[in-house]
A = this chain, B = another copy of it.
Amino acid sequence: MATLSDFGAFMERFILHPPQQLPLKGLTFAVKDIFDVEGYVTGFGNPDWARTHGAAVSTAPAVLAVLNAGATCVGKTVMDEMAYSINGENKHYGTPTNPCAPDRVPGGSSSGSAVAVSAELVDFSLGTDTGGSVRVPAAFCGIYGFRPSHGIVSTTGVTPMAQSFDTVGWFARDPIILNRIGHLLLQLPDMDPVHPNRIIIPDDCFQLLSIPSDRVTQVLFKSLEKLFGVVFPGEVVKHINLGDYVNDRVPSLKHFMDKSNEQKEYNIPSLVALSSSMRLLQRYEFKNNHGDWVLSIKPDLGPGISERIWEAIRTTDEKINICHTVRNELHAALTSLLEDFGILAIPTVPGPPPKLQTEATKLETFRVGAFSLLSIAGVSGFCQVTIPLGMYDNLPVAVSLLAKHGSDGFLLNLVESLYVPLKEQIKIAESMNY
């Protein structure tokens, strides 16, 4: 009870001391060279950028939050130039070696951050994901990668690529660490894992895979069944055609439908249209951010990236408003599909990492499929995790789970609890080379 000397201010007096142990104490990490670190130039993957920018005068809040939680930063990592690639090949600074498949690309643009984790040089790392720059290198390097719900982790002090898609993401080999970083950066309360009440499997998306889709879906299902001790009934696991669902619920996509029906045999038209709307808005925002710099400096840029950047510079505001409508419609459609505790499982990418120095034209099928899948979370702002599923034919396999905007804690908890059953199922699948 209150006493006179407390001025009646207190309901109850007690002492809660600061925690004895900082949550990330003893862990090491690295940051993509897109984050400001006081005293260092933020290089943004390109030497002309580094040359024309001074040292950062303060450290990005996301990096500070991790440092303040007790982790030690050991350096800045190589990235794709201006974050404009998902390949991870950098002609200026070298292509980080994919520890899972040294003759394959590591994935980008957060290439060095993924490689540093995969090679066990650090416990975790920070990257950014605009169009897939955490999800793709995580899949290619056989590690966990998390893209949080858009707008939740501060991007202050992070060089922008395209703000309405930019997110701060992170990599780890261990989902317990992945979750711990999430709790810190997303300021999540501790809560017990919740059973998903629906698991949506879009069969059409799994048909994009160049490896047997059972290799992915069976490992995932069996692990979920082990975890929850049940065979999921039909009302929980739902097989759908996501392309049709999106086509019906996102009418403004008609403005991005490719009438030529080229590449029809291996794609999902509504998701290709979705990725077109994403890439248009991305180009437009990129141009507004960096058009003046590119035009005045004319930076030396690698193949593929140069073409994309100059295409972005030529973007007008035509159809930009429709891109915003697409986002709103997709957000609503996927929110009603998943609600608070549903997950959507999709392949992260259509197959294993491409060989180093594959020509861009030869990658076209892969890229169309990849962006069809990546734009689902990209446009909706939903959170997505990449989960490594071991090796198939000596190349890394991955799957992704998505949850609705703001359900990051639910998704991260689920991934952490899946770890043990997943390891077992992966072992079985690998032993059967299945």
Shortest distance between the CB of A192 and any CB in chain B (Å): 8
- Asked whether B2 lies within 8 Å of A94 as measured between CB atoms, the reply is yes
A154 contacts the other chain (CB 8 A): yes
A22 contacts the other chain (CB 8 A): yes
Shortest distance between the CB of A161 and any CB in chain B (Å): 17
Shortest distance between the CB of A185 and any CB in chain B (Å): 9
A420 contacts the other chain (CB 8 A): no
- Asked whether B30 lies within 8 Å of A10 as measured between CB atoms, the reply is yes
Give the chain B neighbours of A17 by CB distance below 8 A: 67, 72
A76 contacts the other chain (CB 8 A): yes
Shortest distance between the CB of A395 and any CB in chain B (Å): 17
Given A156-B188, A189-B156, CB of A119 within 8 Å of CB of B9? yes
Give A352 to B11 CA distance when docked, in angstroms.
26
> How many copies of this kind of chain does the complex include?
2
A229 contacts the other chain (CB 8 A): no
Residue of B nearest to A188 (CB): B61
A95 contacts the other chain (CB 8 A): yes
Q: Which of A7, A11, A12 has the most chain B CB within a 10 Å cutoff?
A: A11
- Asked whether A73 lies within 8 Å of B16 as measured between CB atoms, the reply is yes
- Asked whether A78 lies within 8 Å of B16 as measured between CB atoms, the reply is no
Given A68-B19, A73-B16, CB of A58 within 8 Å of CB of B9? no
Give A11 to B14 CA distance when docked, in angstroms.
48
Given A16-B37, A156-B187, A156-B189, CB of A7 within 8 Å of CB of B119? yes
- Asked whether A187 lies within 8 Å of B154 as measured between CB atoms, the reply is yes
Q: A interface, by DSSP: helix, strand, loop or mixed?
A: loop
- Asked whether B18 lies within 8 Å of A22 as measured between CB atoms, the reply is yes
Give A62 to B17 CA distance when docked, in angstroms.
15
A97 contacts the other chain (CB 8 A): yes
- Asked whether A12 lies within 8 Å of B75 as measured between CB atoms, the reply is yes
Residue of B nearest to A18 (CB): B70
Give the chain B neighbours of A190 by CB distance below 8 A: 38, 58-59
Give A189 to B113 CA distance when docked, in angstroms.
22
Which one of B10, B40, B59, B65 lies within 8 Å of A76 (CB-CB)? Answer: B10
Give the chain B neighbours of A65 by CB distance below 8 A: 187
Which one of B10, B78, B119 lies within 8 Å of A11 (CB-CB)? Answer: B78
Q: Beta-carbon contacts of A162-188 to B below 8 Å, as 1s and 0s?
A: 000000000000000000000000011
Give the chain B neighbours of A67 by CB distance below 8 A: 16-19
- Asked whether A191 lies within 8 Å of B72 as measured between CB atoms, the reply is no
Give A394 to B166 CA distance when docked, in angstroms.
53
- Asked whether B7 lies within 8 Å of A116 as measured between CB atoms, the reply is yes
Give the chain B neighbours of A37 by CB distance below 8 A: 16
Give the chain B neighbours of A2 by CB distance below 8 A: 78, 93-94
Give A34 to B96 CA distance when docked, in angstroms.
50
A13 contacts the other chain (CB 8 A): yes
Given A7-B96, A68-B19, A121-B6, CB of A76 within 8 Å of CB of B12? yes
Q: Which of A2-53 contact B (CB under 8 A)?
A: 2, 6-19, 22-23, 25, 30, 33, 36-38, 40, 43
Give A17 to B73 CA distance when docked, in angstroms.
7
Residue of B nearest to A63 (CB): B16
Given A18-B72, A68-B19, A72-B15, CB of A94 within 8 Å of CB of B187? no
Give the chain B neighbours of A40 by CB distance below 8 A: 12, 14
- Asked whether B15 lies within 8 Å of A74 as measured between CB atoms, the reply is yes
Give the chain B neighbours of A157 by CB distance below 8 A: 189
Give the chain B neighbours of A111 by CB distance below 8 A: 9
Give A2 to B113 CA distance when docked, in angstroms.
14
- Asked whether B18 lies within 8 Å of A25 as measured between CB atoms, the reply is yes
- Which 10 A-B pairs have CB atoms at the shortest separation, nearest pair first? A61-B187, A13-B75, A16-B73, A9-B112, A9-B115, A9-B116, A58-B189, A8-B96, A7-B97, A7-B119
